[in-house]
Amino acid sequence: MKKLLFQSTLGMVLLLFSSNLFAQDEDLLKLLGNEKTKKERVKYAFKSPRVINGHSMEFLNPGTMDFRILHRFGQLNQGYKNFFGLDQASMRMGFDFGILHNLMFGVGRSTYKKELDAFIKYAPIRQSTGPWSSPVTFALVSGITMDGTPWADPNRKNFYTSRLAYYFEAIIGRKFSEAFTLQIAPTMVHKNIVPFEKDPNNIYALGIGGRLKLSKRVAFTWDYTHVVIGMPDSGYYNPLSIGFDIETGGHVFQLHFSNSTGMNEKAFITETTSRWGKAEVRFGFNLSRVFQIKKKKVGK
């Protein structure tokens, strides 16, 4: 009796086993075992390589060119007489190029101070998932600006280098979710020449920028830079921009309000003279159009 019980139990177990094998038949893909998770870059943290004014943790794709037209209008508090600032505009035209997934450069020209600027941006670490991944993107930006206005005093000995200023920036950013991205950007601006003797040549600042996606094509963005060391005593303020990114298929429109006029790092970090508190805010937009210069090879 015992023996029979044992046999039938064994038989049942084996049957169960074999029916298990049949059950696996249902999902053939399971037969291949679990895929090893691969390291994968986290993409599309921002719609554009710029948050609003400042650089974002995102890069242009290799082989693309971003043609950027930036406008900053006059102050809203000018009222109807200047149509709330829209009668005046300051602009910057820029061309940015994506070389590698983590390397890009760009040049631009602003009407404000007739400034030329150029930068190079590189990310040694990009946010990724999977083995050996990094929770954040770490990017470095180095840029130069050149003032194009005539010399204030043509009679004194003027040096070409007096027109130049430099900026160095580190960006540490993370795309926390599909909707939310946050980054901080310690920045240093060096001006070769400053208006007054007591003004510092080196300015240290901390940028905080982010994005909150509201829908597939619209996002709320903000971009604030706090000057930590080196703000001149009076008349200068920290730049804050808030706005919306709207993606229309081929273009990205960044519509925003900001208290800064400048559109390069030196100008908006160290030369913002308006205040949010006094409604000295400007409407502005960045229009970005990405062109594919070199097509990616996907083959047949």
Partner 1 sequence: MKNLLVTILGVVITMNCIGQKYYTKNAKINFDATTPSSPEKVEGINRTATCVIDTKSGAMQFVALMKSFEFERALMEEHFNENYVESSKFPKAEFKGELKDNEEIDYSKDGTYTVKVKGILTMHGVSNEVKTDAKIIILNGKISATAEFSAKLEDYKISIPGLVADKVAKSAKITVSCSLEPLKN
Given a contact cutoff of 8 angstroms between Cβ atoms, the answer to whether 258 and 52 are in contact is yes
Q: Which 8-state DSSP code applies to residue 203?
A: E
Distance of alpha carbon 252 from alpha carbon 242, whole angstroms = 16
Minimum Å gap between C-beta 220 and partner 1 is 16
Rank residues 10 and 69 by Cβ distance to partner 1 and give the closer one.
10
Minimum Å gap between C-beta 88 and partner 1 is 31
Minimum Å gap between C-beta 289 and partner 1 is 10
Rank residues 114 and 217 by Cβ distance to partner 1 and give the closer one.
217
Place of tokens 């298990």: 20
Of the candidates 242, 249, 243, the one whose C-alpha atom is nearest the C-alpha of residue 288 is 249
Under 8 Å CB-to-CB from 49, ≥6 apart: which residues? 55, 56, 58, 59, 60, 66, 96, 104, 121
Minimum Å gap between C-beta 115 and partner 1 is 29
Residue 113 token pair: 């101070």
Minimum Å gap between C-beta 180 and partner 1 is 13
Binding site for partner 1 (CB under 8 A): 7-8, 10-11, 14-15, 17-18, 21-22, 25, 27-29, 31-32, 40, 43-44, 61-64, 98, 178, 216-217, 247-250, 290, 292, 295-300
Rank residues 12 and 229 by Cβ distance to partner 1 and give the closer one.
12
Residue 186's Cβ-count burial label (10 Å; 0-12, 13-18, 19+) is middle
Rank residues 249 and 277 by Cβ distance to partner 1 and give the closer one.
249
Instruction: Specify the DSSP element, H or E, that contains 6.
Output: helix 2-26
Rank residues 10 and 229 by Cβ distance to partner 1 and give the closer one.
10
Rank residues 8 and 149 by Cβ distance to partner 1 and give the closer one.
8
Helix (H, G, I), strand (E, B) or coil at 266: helix
Distance of alpha carbon 39 from alpha carbon 126, whole angstroms = 11
Bridge partners of 142, per DSSP, are 120, 168
Amino acid letter, residue 93: M
Rank residues 1 and 21 by Cβ distance to partner 1 and give the closer one.
21
Distance of alpha carbon 231 from alpha carbon 23, whole angstroms = 71
- CA angle, 268 then 274 then 278, to 5°: 150
Indicate the length of the chain as a whole number: 300
Minimum Å gap between C-beta 126 and partner 1 is 15
Rank residues 156 and 216 by Cβ distance to partner 1 and give the closer one.
216
Minimum Å gap between C-beta 135 and partner 1 is 17
Minimum Å gap between C-beta 255 and partner 1 is 17
Helix (H, G, I), strand (E, B) or coil at 78: helix
